[in-house]
Amino acid sequence: MSAIISTQPYLCQFNQRGHDINGLCLGPTDDVQGGITAAMPGGSWLGALVSGVASDMFGWKRSIQLGSIIWIVGSIIVCASVNIPMLVIGRLINGFLVGICSAQVPVYISELSPPSKRGRLIGFQQWAITWGILIMFFICYGSSFLTGTAAFRLPWGLQAIPAVLLFLRLCFLSESHRWLAKKDRWDEAKDVLTLVHGKGDPASPWVQRELQEIRDVVEFERANAYVSYFELFTLKMINRTSVGVFTQIWSQLTGMNFMMYYITYVFTMAGLASPGTNAVLLPSGIQFVINVVMTIPALLWMDAWGRRPTLLVGAFFMCLWLCINAGLFAVYSRPPHPGEFTSTAESMAIEGASAKAVFASTYLFVATFAPTWGPVSWTYPPELFPLRLRGKAVALCTSANWAFNFALAYFVPPAFANITWRVYVLFAIFCAAMFLHVFFMFPETANKPLEEIEEIFDDTKPGAIKNIGTPAWKTKNTRNAVLRSERNEELSSTEKIGGALEQTGSPA
């Protein structure tokens, strides 16, 4: 939407406010534009909640494929939209798919990943998202040179293609071994474990140990509880539920998505374009390039950094850049002249060196979010919960993400129109609050097997507080120990295979 909402073909097709003194279409009102943008995260909120039930019934793989079909239907409706209600309905349907996939893809990846690589592999999901945003932004930029409604219909139609590819590729991938075990399909679960962890050796110590741990967890959970959403709010689970939910809430309240949705508003206020032109799109696209490039450090080192330090550093520096932007607009901006901008959300104008500083701090904000809260907010929640609750728990956490995404998408245009530069102050306060929350309440989960993270929240050691567990600031990253364990088990498996080949006389 950020590459489309400022173009004349879009503003004229969905025009509610008539024309300005230059004869240019003014497009939807600020409230309606907020509603159009927010329709997708609104559908995502519902899709995320439903995804927990769907994944328990059909598995993560089938749930994602179901979502792909829904996305294709929504994309067709959006592409064919002739009025605002049709556009909103199409985006709601699209959002339903995004809710399903954003909740279940991280779980699917985390359950197939070894502990020492789990963060990196889920980070690749976030990196793929940044690539998708970048590619679609520049498809929209190229389409903006077309005349008529093709300028926005072409990108809205092309977005169905990835869903087709996703559906087809999933036909050749395995289901999660943990979900298979929960459904008593133990032979298939062992085959998947052998494929993804055992390097083809079903007798691998890693395969045997993890299969036994999963068996123990499944048997215990069947004997002790019926799974429902209400259990996430019991005394035993409320701590980790609040941490998981707030991980997703805070990732929205960083302000990153308001940059993604409405960056063209910000850069237009900083003097990058005249009304009716698309000159603002290219410099706005730089932030999407930064988003892709700066996610790479997280792929390489997130498991080594750990979850807590990454979140703390990200919150601190994002707060700093937001404060700088707030100060620049507060001190150096002026009210716009009549006809200077087409949207009332573009409520300030800033020029010269101050405008360049706004560009710089905005880019630095994106460069801070990309390797920190971007990947970690999707990596962290699936690590917090036991197997029997993981699908529903992550669905709840992701629904919180989309609920706040919806609120912010709706809130930002009228907020810029009414409280101007104070929007930046608001998000800076959120970043300061999340820094304190992470420090005191978010435990370290990096490099820990999913079945062992339970002990962090419900520590039975002497002196531990019942149902609270180890204080968050005392938890540590155990990467080196995990890597040594994986290497030892890998060597043991290699020696075992080598010994078997020697006994049968097979050539080395």
Pair 114, 197: CB distance under 8 Å: yes
Which residue has better confidence, 483 or 444?
A: 444
Give the confidence band of 225 by pLDDT, cuts at 50, 70, 90.
low
pLDDT at 173: 87
Give the chain's radius of gyration (CA, Å). Answer: 25
Q: What is the mean pLDDT of residues 259-263?
A: 81
Which residue has better confidence, 265 or 160?
A: 160
Pair 273, 346: CB distance under 8 Å: no
How many alpha carbons fall within 13 Å on the CB side of residue 439?
11
pLDDT at 465: 44
Give ∠ CA 362-318-30 in degrees, rounded to 5: 55
Mean pLDDT estimate for the chain: 84
pLDDT at 485: 53
Give the confidence band of 458 by pLDDT, cuts at 50, 70, 90.
low
Give the confidence band of 281 by pLDDT, cuts at 50, 70, 90.
confident
Letter for the amino acid at 354? S
Nearest CA to 259 out of 337, 309, 321, 311 is that of 321
pLDDT at 313: 96
Q: Please tell me what DSSP assigns to residue 257.
A: H
Nearest CA to 27 out of 40, 12, 41, 49 is that of 12
Give the confidence band of 489 by pLDDT, cuts at 50, 70, 90.
low
Contacts 24+ apart (CB under 8 A), 200-209: 201/493, 201/496, 201/497, 203/493, 203/496, 204/489, 204/493, 205/489, 205/492, 205/493, 206/114, 206/486, 206/489, 206/490, 206/493, 209/489
Return the SS3 of 113.
coil
Give the confidence band of 51 by pLDDT, cuts at 50, 70, 90.
confident
pLDDT at 491: 52
Nearest CA to 119 out of 130, 128, 110, 132 is that of 110
pLDDT digits (tens, 9 = 90+) for 206-223: 788 888 888 887 887 677
Q: What is the mean pLDDT of residues 138-164?
A: 91
**What are the phi and psi torsion angles at 262 (to 5°)?**
-125, 25
Structure tokens at 90: 């199409």
Letter for the amino acid at 481? A
Give the confidence band of 165 by pLDDT, cuts at 50, 70, 90.
very high
pLDDT at 501: 38
CA distance 390 to 356: 46
Structure tokens at 331: 């001190």
Structure tokens at 103: 């909740």
Give ∠ CA 59-62-68 in degrees, rounded to 5: 140
pLDDT digits (tens, 9 = 90+) for 314-327: 999 999 999 999 99
Least confident of 68-82, 112-126, 346-360, 492-506: 492-506
Q: Please tell me what DSSP assigns to residue 174.
A: P
Pair 38, 404: CB distance under 8 Å: no
Give the confidence band of 273 by pLDDT, cuts at 50, 70, 90.
low
Q: What is the mean pLDDT of residues 476-503?
A: 52
Pair 477, 444: CB distance under 8 Å: yes
Structure tokens at 183: 């459904």
Give the confidence band of 478 by pLDDT, cuts at 50, 70, 90.
low
Of 145-149, 196-200, 489-493, give the range with the top mean pLDDT: 145-149
Give the confidence band of 425 by pLDDT, cuts at 50, 70, 90.
very high
pLDDT at 466: 46
Least confident of 87-91, 190-194, 245-249: 190-194
Give ∠ CA 281-88-169 in degrees, rounded to 5: 75
Residue 194 has pLDDT above 50, yes or no: yes
pLDDT at 311: 96
Least confident of 18-22, 137-141, 347-351: 18-22
pLDDT > 70: percent of the chain: 88
Residue for token pair 């907010």? 377
pLDDT digits (tens, 9 = 90+) for 339-368: 788 778 888 999 999 999 999 999 999 999
Partner residues linked to 465 by β-bridges: 469
pLDDT at 300: 86
Residue for token pair 């370290």? 444
Give the confidence band of 467 by pLDDT, cuts at 50, 70, 90.
very low
CA distance 11 to 167: 34
Residue 234 has pLDDT above 70, yes or no: yes
Q: What is the mean pLDDT of residues 97-116?
A: 83
CB neighbour burial string for 359-397, b if at least 16 within 10 angstroms, e if fewer: bebbbbbbbbbbbbbbbbbbbbbbbbbbbbbbbbbbbbb
Least confident of 111-115, 217-221, 290-294, 466-470: 466-470
CA distance 40 to 42: 5
How many alpha carbons fall within 13 Å on the CB side of residue 413?
23
**Could you give the domains of the chain?**
8-174+226-457 (1.20.1250.20)
